[in-house]
Amino acid sequence: MNATQHITALGQSLWLDNLSRSLIRDGTLEKLIAEDGVSGVTSNPSIFRNALADSPWYAADLARLKACEPDAERRYEALVIPDVQAACDLLLPVHEASGGSDGFVSLEVAPRWAYDAVCTVAEAQRLSAQVNRRNLLVKVPGTPEGLSAFEALTRVGINVNVTLLFSVGQTEAVFGAYLRGLAARARAGADVRHSRAVASLFLSRVDTLVDAQLTAIGTQEALPLRGHAAVAMAKLAYQRYLDIFHGEAFAALAKQGATPQTLVWASSSVKNPDYHDLLYVEPLVGRETVNTLPDKTLAALRDHGKPALRIEDGVAEAEAQLAELARLGIDMELGGHSLQTDGVGLFEAAYQKGLQQTC
């Protein structure tokens, strides 16, 4: 059993944070599923922009689409949706073996709808119908409007990956939207047993922001806190997950067969080269969680990872670290809002570049 298989045996799922036609056509994704226990795939506009730029497998389809499809966005979707469908098909046995709790592939709603709940709902329903795979998760950003859309989509039975979360408060708000959506679905007499959702909490970008603030403060109290904020945040978010989904708030829905919303650790590759390359992996191994890893981080885990259940270790220390950040004037919720706004902008820029690549 290698390190990746060990993690899955401990109760954490590993999803690949990458998707391209090359990964599908050359057998890489199939091999990762079979040999490393990879049980899901996430995508985003940046991933597809890179795929369209680097993979040779799109050229023939793009030439055909240029001749018959005048709309750039529809050309883009005609290129990437078959990749999502193929990944869904490869992961369908995992999905079925897990009883529908794993084996998902994520596809993001166009970032320009991040602040429009009505359009997000419509686009999510359209993409879900177009992909037509039961192990699809439609990605919706965790903006206030995105949460409103998420609640509505949960109510009608669309499974969602809520993305671009950067704080405990944002994550808890997502949990609340899921509870409300499921409760409304149950009141309408609909089956909640097949509803699934995940909440993707981004990590490395949090440390990048907080580290810069700590460096600017520059005191003996501030500097040792660098590189700790994101893991501390994730540990406390997991505690809120346990409180909510293994507590009274979810009890009535659980009796009807509903499944908790899963926490996903996203942005798990380190940005600071001085940090251990598994900083956002090893300390956050925990049951009922997912870590979505880019290829390089997955390879590092396979090569020298030492997995153990650590997510519930050092919770008091994590609380103390975040309290000290607050004492120093670092507002994690305000920072999370800023990072979310920036994240929407970065994905929109990547999405527009992806559209340009189809022209």
Alpha-carbon distance of 108 to 351, in angstroms, equals 10
Partnered with residue 264 across adjacent β-strands are: 200, 290
Residue 305, burial from CB neighbour count under 10 angstroms (0-12, 13-18, 19+): buried
The β-bridge relationship of strands 160-165 and 136-141 is parallel
Give yes or no for a contact between 143 and 115, defined as CB atoms under 8 angstroms apart. Answer: yes
d(CA 297, CA 62) in angstroms, rounded, equals: 31
Q: Which of 111, 107, 59 is nearest to 83 (CA)?
A: 107
C-alpha to C-alpha distance for 320 and 232, rounded to whole angstroms: 9
DSSP-H helix ranges across the chain: 3-9, 21-25, 28-36, 45-54, 59-68, 72-97, 117-131, 144-156, 168-187, 204-217, 229-245, 248-255, 295-304, 315-327, 332-356
Annotated catalytic residues are 139
